[in-house]
Amino acid sequence: MTAASPAATHEVFNQSTPWADVNLFTTNQPLQDALRLHAPGLPLAGLAALGAEMGSAEMQAHARLANTYKPQLRTHDRFGHRTDVVEFHPSYHALIGAALRHGLHATPWSRQDTGHAHIERAAGFMLFTEAEPSVLCPVSMSYAVTPALRGNAAVWADWSKGLASTQYDPRLALFSQKSALTMGMGMTEKQGGSDVRANTTQAVPDGEDAWGARYRIIGHKWFFSAPMCDAFLILAQAPGGLTCFFLPRVLPDDTVNAIRIQRLKDKLGNHANASSEVEFIGATAWRVGEEGRGVAQILEMGTMTRLDCALGTSGLMRQALSIALHHTRQRSAFGKKLIDQPLMRNVLADLALESEAATALSIRLASAFDHKDKSEHEAVMARLLTPVAKFWVCKRGSVFAQEAMECLGGNGYVEEGGEGTMARIYREMPLNSIWEGAGNIMALDLLRAVRRADTAAALADELAPARGAHPALDRMASALPLRVDAMTTEAEARRLAQDVALAVQAALLYRSAPSAVFSAFCDSRLGGDWGYSFGTLGAGVEFDLLLNRALPA
């Protein structure tokens, strides 16, 4: 044998190529099939263009840079003047500019011509999340607050055009001078968290003007995400009780409002987005809706952001799955490609099944928002499936990401290069489960939904198309309406949320996926032919079909 040269020991082989310059939409058959089921005839060219852009190496580089170079708070300028400005890396602006350009913020509220504005936006939101989820925080909040903002007709008249604009404008400027506007929310306080009725921030009446009843706000917010938005809907205690207020950063007289950013949160993930703590030192705000109706306003906004939590987690699942499949098709071990190893095939097929079910449920929920004002059944489904999808899909996200990361081994754990995306996904996953109400809050919301008289019947109708298709689903479909009617204790609410999610996912897969996918889901998730971790599907599952459907080889 001749000794190898020193350089030969550093030859790179048996490594996968980056998952880049791919079209995230045209390679996603489960998403396309979900859209065909709920929005037949929907033009797909825009989503294909978004999928190509979000799958590009350029956007991946922007995502990496925006998360590596985190937002920086500048409370004062060098002369000592208070500024309260958060500076972002240019890649952050490139990303959020793309999100607005593709209409992922408030545009569905002004664009109802297709009848599928919310579902089209939902699909786009999922595709964008695959590239970078952090910057979507202000995008999601702009989407969520728009319906509630109509509670102040004068403000809505002045701000609606800017909120629907697709021409991103990062400047701190008067609303009338900007090409597009974004909005955030400020609800939670340090002493209350999800219990917003414990809020202590005070709203003192301060007269009236063109925007209606004006107040001075004194207090704080413990989580105030995206503080560089142009305005916020906040909660404060008015003389008539907890009330919703419109709080712009720049006042109509072109002066900066008294919003003091105390610090930015040092978070586990979500690094590209700035989350802050703020103080209101006599800030000026205008009432939205009636005094004492703040909780009702929150519920309206929370419903929209909870939809985005399910969509976002589904998008992250999809990206983690795609990276795992791409890697295992190229990496070899023990004489075979990883994807040809029987245990790995089971793991990947199981992840593919979970991802498709999450996509199906999330898109179904989005479709309910398109029709809930015209259909009583869809209104009930929006009310029922919002906490269910938020609870179940987001709960599955973290364990999904951990298993997908394990498919890459040590490469998945590092924070650099293409594989660094997997580590970022893993750090991001818990956020959607916590934000806008953690698991127990969702379970309690589900209880409120099922206590309405029409819920059990609507759920039975939702599951009816799949009755007779699988005995395990039939058993659950028969039992669930009875459990809904009989539900009296909070202690069982999480189990109910889980079972409703699984039953609805199964019924959706019956309508949108090949029969082998539906059968594998029912056998494992409903029929008990499954273990306590991914990769425990029964031997009779058609792994080839699941893997090729998830990402064509």
416-450: per-residue pLDDT in tens?
765 568 999 999 999 999 988 899 999 999 998 88
> How high is the pLDDT of residue 123?
98
Considering the chain, what is the average pLDDT of its residues? 93
CB 263 within 8 A of CB 223: no
The letter for the amino acid at 1 is: M
CA quadruple 167, 315, 395, 411: dihedral sign = negative
Between 454 and 486, the higher pLDDT residue: 454
What band does 211 get if pLDDT is binned at 50, 70 and 90? very high
Pairing of strands 183-186, 82-87: unpaired
What band does 193 get if pLDDT is binned at 50, 70 and 90? confident
- Taking only Cα atoms into account, the Rg of the chain, rounded to an integer number of angstroms, comes to 24
Q: Report the percentage of the chain scoring pLDDT > 90.
A: 82
User: Phi/psi of residue 403, each to 5°?
Assistant: -70, -40
> How high is the pLDDT of residue 293?
92
pTM for the full predicted model: 0.95
> How high is the pLDDT of residue 196?
82
Report the C-alpha gap between 445 and 384 in whole angstroms.
9
What band does 471 get if pLDDT is binned at 50, 70 and 90? very high
What band does 7 get if pLDDT is binned at 50, 70 and 90? low
> How high is the pLDDT of residue 112?
60
> How high is the pLDDT of residue 179?
97
Among 293-307, 327-341, 472-486, the range scoring the smallest mean pLDDT is 293-307
User: Rounded to 5, what percent of the chain is helix, strand, coil?
Assistant: 55, 15, 30
Between 115 and 76, the higher pLDDT residue: 76
What band does 46 get if pLDDT is binned at 50, 70 and 90? very high
- 349: nearest Cα among 114, 143, 547, 65: 547
CB 518 within 8 A of CB 469: yes
> How high is the pLDDT of residue 5?
63
> How high is the pLDDT of residue 503?
98
What band does 505 get if pLDDT is binned at 50, 70 and 90? very high
What are the structural domains of the chain?
29-164 (no CATH), 175-291 (2.40.110.20), 296-550 (1.20.140.10)
What band does 3 get if pLDDT is binned at 50, 70 and 90? low
Pairing of strands 231-238, 183-186: parallel
Residue 73, Cβ density class (10 Å: 0-12 exposed, 13-18 middle, ≥19 buried)? middle
- 226: nearest Cα among 167, 270, 257, 281: 270
How many CB atoms sit inside 10 A of residue 493's CB? 21
> How high is the pLDDT of residue 489?
81
Pairing of strands 241-248, 212-225: unpaired
> How high is the pLDDT of residue 460?
94
Tokens of 77: 């300028």
Between 361 and 7, the higher pLDDT residue: 361
For 212-341, where are the alpha helices, taking DSSP H only? Answer: 294-328
Q: How many residues in the chain? A: 553
The pLDDT tens digits for 230-247 are 999 999 999 999 999 999
> Is 80 exceeded by the pLDDT of residue 331?
yes
